[in-house]
A = this chain, B = another copy of it.
Amino acid sequence: MGMKPTPQELIKHEQALGLLNYGMYIVSSHAQDKKNGQIINVASQVTAEPMQVVICLNKQNLTHDYITQSGVFGLSILEQSTPFKVIGTWGFKSGRDVDKFKEAGHREGKTGVPLLIDHTLATLECEVVSCCDANTHSLFLGRVVGGEVLREGVALTYDYYRHVIKGKASKNAPTFRTQGH
């Protein structure tokens, strides 16, 4: 155990990792009277009974703080036609600097979380069941307590974002390319 990859191996690992598939979502939460959200690409159903979802968030991000404080999070599944500008706001700006929900269509879910509804095919709400440490990031396991489809459409994928919209990963993303590949 504990084999340390060489720089050449790290490049190969990153290239292989680049073929994993993801969606593109807004994860949101709140604390006291403040609300925030951000783009994530890791959100997966992990069990059917009960319905549970796992998400992955950088510990430095404000939404991570809010989820830790409130114990709840919302998810908005973005549509393929989501404008690049919207992805820029939710993916590359911090809620410490701007109020991302200020001019975005949203509503409050049954758990109190803000849910983005602009450019959104479906929303989900989860109560945090557990949190797994993953070094720079946390994995939050959440039990689904709310959810509905808002409109028909094709969901935005990370592959579409990278190869059609030509977007990049933020430095706090799980998929940030340290080797540049």
Instruction: Of the listed stretches A28-36, A92-100, A145-153, name the one at the interface; the rest are far from the partner chain.
Output: A145-153
Question: In residues 22-79 of chain A, which contact B (Cβ within 8 Å)?
Answer: 22-23, 25, 41-54, 56, 71, 77
Q: A residues bordering B, Cβ < 8 Å?
A: 1-3, 5, 9-10, 12-17, 19-23, 25, 41-54, 56, 71, 77, 110, 121-124, 127, 129-130, 132-137, 139, 141, 144-149, 155, 157-159, 173-178
Q: Determine whether the beta carbon of B56 is less than 8 Å from that of A44.
A: yes
Q: Determine whether the beta carbon of A23 is less than 8 Å from that of B23.
A: no
Distance in angstroms between the alpha carbons of A111 and B1 in the assembled complex: 8
Taking A14-B51, A16-B124, A54-B134 as known contacts, 20 extra A-B pairs with beta carbons closer than 8 A to each other, sorted by chain A number, are: A15-B147, A16-B77, A16-B122, A16-B149, A17-B51, A17-B53, A17-B144, A17-B147, A21-B22, A41-B44, A44-B56, A46-B139, A47-B174, A49-B136, A51-B178, A52-B134, A129-B134, A132-B132, A132-B141, A157-B157
